[in-house]
Amino acid sequence: MARKKQPEKKMIINPSEVNAYIAGAGTVQEQPITETLETNYMPYTMSVIVSRAIPEIDGFKPSHRKLLYTMYQMGLLSGARIKSANIAGQTMQLNPHGDAAIYDTMVRMSEGYGALLHPYVDSKGNFGKAYSRDMQAAASRYTEAKLTLIAAELFRDIDKETVDMVDNYDATKKEPVLLPVTFPTVLVNANIGIAVGMASSICPFNLQEVCETTIAYLRDENHNIADTLIAPDFPGGGLLLYNREDLEKIYATGRGGVKVRAVYAYDASANCIDITQIPPTATVEVIIEKVIDLVKQKKIQEINDIRDETGLNGLKITIDLKRGADPDRLMQKLFKMTQLEDTFSCNFNVLIAGAPRVMGVSELLSEWTAFRIECIKRRVYFNLQKAKSRLHLLRGLSKILLDIDKAIKIVRETEEDSEVVPNLMIGFGIDQIQAEFVAEIKLRHLNKEYILNRLKDIENLEKEIAEQEGILSSRTRVKNIIIDELKQVIKKYAQPRRTVIYHPKAEDFAPIRAEVPDYPVTLFFTKEGYFKKITPQSLRMSAEQKLKEGDALLLIEESSNKKELLFFTDQCQVYKSRASDFSDTKASVLGDYIPTALQFDSGEKAVYMAVTEDYSGYMVFIFENGKAAKVEMKAYETKTNRKKLLKAYSGKSPLVAAFYLPEDRELLLTASSGRMLLFHTGAIAAKSTKDTQGVQVMTLKKSHRVIEARLFEEGMLAKPHRHRIRSLPAAGSMPAAEEAGDQLSL
């Protein structure tokens, strides 16, 4: 009979009881931000700096070192390639960060990816390309890999205790703290990392140049680095704009930048440019997108088409030119406007004894030399101990030679196995280690010939021990060993420079101005801030302008597409633009809303537009307090392409009107009292300071202000002489009866 299911008992928790049970529950405790940073954030920061992002003196970050050492342990220095997924899985025993992160590390160090001058991973399959953003590596289950030949230089004598070995994260395996590299890998292959509050960016150098520089430095610590280390050498090639002063600064301080330019060729038969090498900081997709954007903005007019023709033969960007276009001039423009010429920023930040240090090349070589000397000494000491141990055994064996029969007799007559070694020690006066060695010799080897052959090694071992001890006691001999190894590395792995040294000419630094097509246009500017640029042909088809309800035209000017435009705002600022920056439009559209097109500040409105070409003439500002400011137009001209200028005019009094005057002329002011004043701007001195308050032109009684200012035209007033004055300031005069009517009509 089935038992009846008992209903579940629900536990009712009283919040007051919980708060009483957990001390401090529900209370807010104040904690200084410095304490929070120190206890919570600093451990993370140090972990990123020390264990992730900054390379050490052997040229590797922990993730690189763990991967390469795993491949070495798997025997991948020789033999066939194996699946990348297998390597990534094995590496997780040392690097528990997931197979995706490990595989990405392998991809960057592979031959197929092409990010290193001397790759450490021999790859098969699609590993992507360093010069492409969109060309990604295939999944790890499809690709295969092993170590390249040069990777043998990373592990030479690693089994001879040349470097310290530590436990992995779960203490099941040992891994090296550093790799005993035989050449300065930290300078040969590029290494970039972003930590917390600091970064590292080490540019690559040609292997032969680095080794020759290291040899010269070992022989003379005052060696001038720039004499042998010519310049960085990037895997993707390119032209390096050589500047000895900049390079010497990088070599001395570890900071600076080098400019790298793309390599191109002009195909006259197809009228196209083929770009085959690009800077290391650029990608094909970014360059193409930027060029397309420049064409859309009409900053580049010579291009018909651009496409990516990268294939089995390598990188290739093809640009089809319009008829008559100058390819060299176009490329000079593209160098200035795109990443076809870019700067590689250097920051030689390396972990030394667990602490990050920014060092010049001499300091780096000094630290690497000290590290390598220590590796050589540890290797020599290991070999010395092995030789001494072998010599000790052979000397014990030499005593057996005196009476082999006695040795056999001792072994045969000893009743207990544990007594064999002690009896041999007593019989021949040898120690336990020697006796153990003799006891383990096979019976067939207890003959005179075998023992004599072994004893021949004693003389060689004594010479070897003397040689090893001599090396340990001489720093010069250790340096000579390092020099010999560096020469062997040059002989085996040196390759020609990929990046060509280019000595720039004066025209390379000349500013390139985009060719703007020049044609007549009519410019319209409205009170609400709308702008139109209309060609005469379009204007003839429809002259009726579409305006927003309540809007009105402030300016209509026949001009050209090359003119510059200055938009003055109600916040005493001016925004600069060009007519060519705006598209041709029609009378039937509202046009471009200037505050949006030029990205005005929030709530800012355009109040006046000035059109100029050579910045001749003046800007005249009329203020409510009766003052007028005359500013030279040259004050708004800038050498750089600045789009916004602050303090374009004075803000001490509200602005009534602004005028751009190529030459002086008369202005008519009207005050709230009804008085009118006609004066010539030539009577005002021009200022070069944009926000000058100006001079008093019209004297006003209290509570009155200037309400209108206009350019004076003949016929505007019936009796203009009544309002003209001889000296400033003046109060002006009331309009005549016939003028009053005109004013009312206005």
CATH number, domain containing residue 680: 2.120.10.90
Q: Residues 317, 423: one domain?
A: no
Q: Residues 570, 713: one domain?
A: yes
Per-residue pLDDT of 17-35, as tens digits, reads 555 556 666 677 788 888 8
Cis peptide before 735 (omega within 30 of 0): no
Mean pLDDT of the chain: 89
User: Is 130 inside a domain boundary?
Assistant: yes
Of 443-452, 571-580, 608-617, the least confident: 443-452
Per-residue pLDDT of 661-682, as tens digits, reads 999 999 999 999 989 999 999 9
* Domain stop point among 284, 316, 339: 339
Q: Residues 465, 529: one domain?
A: no
Q: Residues 91, 173: one domain?
A: yes
Give the burial string for 32-60 (b: 16+ CB within 10 Å, else e): eeeeeeeeeeeeeeeebbbeebbbbbbbb
Q: Residues 533, 677: one domain?
A: yes
Residue 636 falls in the annotated catalytic set:
no
pLDDT of 745:
35
User: Is 556 inside a domain boundary?
Assistant: yes
List alpha helices for 441-521, DSSP H: 448-455, 457-472, 475-493
CATH number, domain containing residue 463: 1.10.268.10
Q: Residues 153, 67: one domain?
A: yes
Q: Residues 466, 592: one domain?
A: no
User: Could you tell me which residue, 113 or 642, shows the higher pLDDT?
Assistant: 113
* Domain stop point among 136, 163, 180: 180
Q: Residues 332, 401: one domain?
A: no
Smallest Cα–Cα separation from 507: which of 727, 328, 701, 244? Answer: 328
User: Could you tell me which residue, 483 or 17, shows the higher pLDDT?
Assistant: 483
Please, which pLDDT band fits residue 266 given cuts at 50, 70 and 90?
Answer: very high
User: Is 45 inside a domain boundary?
Assistant: no
Q: How far apart are CA 361 and CA 370, in angstroms?
A: 14
Q: Residues 294, 430: one domain?
A: no
Q: Residues 443, 334: one domain?
A: no
- Whether residue 480 is predicted with pLDDT greater than 90 in this model: the reply is yes
Q: How far apart are CA 728 and CA 449, in angstroms?
A: 129
Residue 222: burial class (beta carbons within 10 Å; 0-12, 13-18, 19+): exposed
Per-residue pLDDT of 388-432, as tens digits, reads 999 998 888 888 777 778 888 888 888 888 888 898 888 888 888
User: Is 501 inside a domain boundary?
Assistant: no
User: Is 198 inside a domain boundary?
Assistant: no
pLDDT of 718:
81
Q: Which two tokens stand for residue 459?
A: 């003389």
User: Is 199 inside a domain boundary?
Assistant: no
pLDDT of 7:
53
- Whether residue 553 is predicted with pLDDT greater than 60 in this model: the reply is yes
**Domain carrying residue 128:** 60-180
* Domain stop point among 488, 511, 542: 488
pLDDT of 575:
95
pLDDT of 2:
47
pLDDT of 744:
38
pLDDT of 570:
94
Q: What is the mean pLDDT of residues 251-270?
A: 95
CATH number, domain containing residue 173: 3.90.199.10
User: Is 221 inside a domain boundary?
Assistant: no
Highest mean pLDDT among 198-202, 213-217, 722-726: 213-217
Q: Residues 578, 721: one domain?
A: yes
Single-letter residue type at 439: A
Domain count across the chain: 4
Please, which pLDDT band fits residue 195 given cuts at 50, 70 and 90?
Answer: confident
**Which is the catalytic residue, given 41, 142, 169, 519?**
142
Q: Residues 582, 706: one domain?
A: yes
User: Is 247 inside a domain boundary?
Assistant: no
CATH number, domain containing residue 335: 3.30.1360.40
pLDDT of 743:
47
pLDDT of 45:
84
